[in-house]
């Protein structure tokens, strides 16, 4: 209708009417653009809110995973320390205690990273949808650390001491240790469930002769103590590297239940 009106007014050489029609067109286009921009901003704000909430939930899981790894490897280190001390003659452990601690020093764990939201944001080039700069920077730094930790977990799985223990210890004894003295069950986001995951009193329920034979293997095998010292050093380094980050306080802000 507007086009017909313009054509009519041009034909009549009614330039005032043509000017009015032109203004109407311009204003209409302007309003249309503004409405489109408002709709786009509304959609972007909704996406931002949704991604931010998802990222916060993931980061709270990552906070738990960090504490879990610290608690777990603290127990591994304590077991390794007790076993090394006994094998070096600086302390005394019963054969069963030595066997338990030597076994626990082999243990490693993997807490799946909760990084789906972050990876999606990176893949679509939309990390700036996280409007809170400090939260955005926290995610970038934290997920950089978790990538490094995942590589370390692979190294823990293939640690020389772990492989040696698995090779020299009868498989029946390994199964019994896993069943009676292995990891406790953990519940994600439950900080109480990860305390003393490995460092708890247990009994192997093995016969005296089996225990004595296993302990003798540990005390006499020439590679056990050197590899155990190496394991202890590696775990100490891991704990040191993950114990003090400048952004940890920001993480505690969003996960106040962190110890």
Render 181-250 in DSSP notation, one character per residue: HSPPP--TT-SGGGTTSS-S-------HHHHHHHHHHHHH-TTHHHHHHHHHHHHHHHHHHTS--TTHHH
- Average pLDDT of the chain? 85
The reported pLDDT for the residue numbered 200 is: 95
pLDDT band at residue 189, thresholds of 50, 70 and 90?
confident
Instruction: Give the model's pLDDT for residue 233.
Output: 94
Q: Where exactly are the structural domains of the chain? A: 2-254
Of the listed ranges 84-98, 157-171, 172-186, 241-255, the least confidently predicted one is 241-255
The sign of the CA dihedral 241, 244, 245, 247 is positive
Joined together, the tokens standing for residue 169 give 């210890």
Q: With contact defined as beta carbons under 8 Å apart, do 116 and 62 qualify?
A: no
User: Is pLDDT at 98 greater than 80 in this prediction?
Assistant: yes
State residue 47's pLDDT score. Answer: 87
Q: Tell me which of 101 and 39 has the higher pLDDT.
A: 101
**pLDDT over 50 (residue 238):** yes
Q: Say how far apart CA 237 and CA 103 lie, in whole Å.
A: 20
User: Which region holds residue 111: left if phi is over 0, alpha if psi is between -120 and 50, else beta?
Assistant: beta
pLDDT in tens, 6-28: 455 445 555 565 556 556 656 66
Q: Tell me, what's the pLDDT at 186? A: 87
Per-residue pLDDT for 149 more than 70? no
Q: Can you give the length of the chain in residues?
A: 259
Tokens for 27?
Answer: 């204003």
Tell me, rounded to whole angstroms, the distance of Cα 201 from its chain centroid. 28
pLDDT at 188: 84
The answer to whether residues 128 and 137 touch, using CB atoms and an 8 Å cutoff, is: no
Per residue in 30-85, pLDDT (tens digit) is 666 666 555 666 766 888 899 999 999 999 998 898 889 889 999 999 999 999 99
* pLDDT score for 10: 47
Place of tokens 């239940």: 257
How far apart CA 101 and CA 177 sit, in angstroms, is 10
pTM here is 0.80
Residue 148: partners with Cβ closer than 8 Å, 6 or more residues away: none
pLDDT of residue 232: 95
DSSP 33-69: HHHHHHHHHHHHHHHHHHHHHHHHHHHHHHHHHHHHH
**In angstroms, rounded to a whole number, what is the distance separating the alpha carbons of residues 98 and 137?**
45
- The residue among 127 and 44 whose pLDDT is bigger is 127
How many beta carbons lie within 10 A of that of residue 4, not counting itself?
8
Cα separation, 105 vs 165, in Å, equals 10
């Amino acid at each position: 209708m507007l086009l017909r009106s313009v054509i009519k007014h041009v034909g009549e050489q009614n330039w005032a009417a043509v000017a009015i029609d032109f203004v109407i067109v311009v204003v209409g286009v302007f309003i249309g653009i503004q409405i489109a921009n408002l709709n786009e901003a509304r959609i972007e704000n909704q996406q931002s809110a949704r991604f931010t909430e998802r990222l916060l939930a993931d980061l709270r899981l990552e906070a738990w995973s960090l504490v879990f790894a610290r608690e777990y490897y603290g127990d591994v280190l304590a077991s390794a320390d007790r076993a090394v001390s006994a094998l070096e003659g600086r302390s005394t452990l019963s054969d069963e205690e030595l066997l338990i601690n030597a076994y626990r020093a082999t243990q490693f764990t993997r807490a799946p990273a909760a990084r789906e939201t972050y990876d999606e944001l990176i893949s679509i080039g939309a990390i700036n949808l996280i409007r809170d700069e400090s939260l955005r920077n926290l995610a970038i730094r934290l997920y950089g650390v978790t990538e490094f930790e995942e590589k370390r977990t692979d190294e823990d799985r293939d640690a020389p001491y772990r492989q040696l223990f698995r090779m020299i210890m009868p498989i029946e004894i390994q199964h019994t240790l896993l069943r009676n003295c292995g990891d406790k069950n953990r519940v994600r986001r439950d900080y109480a469930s990860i305390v003393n995951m490995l460092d708890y009193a247990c009994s192997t329920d093995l016969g005296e002769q089996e225990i004595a034979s296993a302990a003798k293997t540990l005390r006499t095998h020439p590679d056990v103590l050197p590899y155990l010292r190496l394991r202890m050093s590696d775990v100490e380094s891991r704990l040191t590297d993950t114990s003090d980050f400048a952004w940890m306080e920001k993480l505690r802000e969003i996960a106040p239940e962190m110890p």
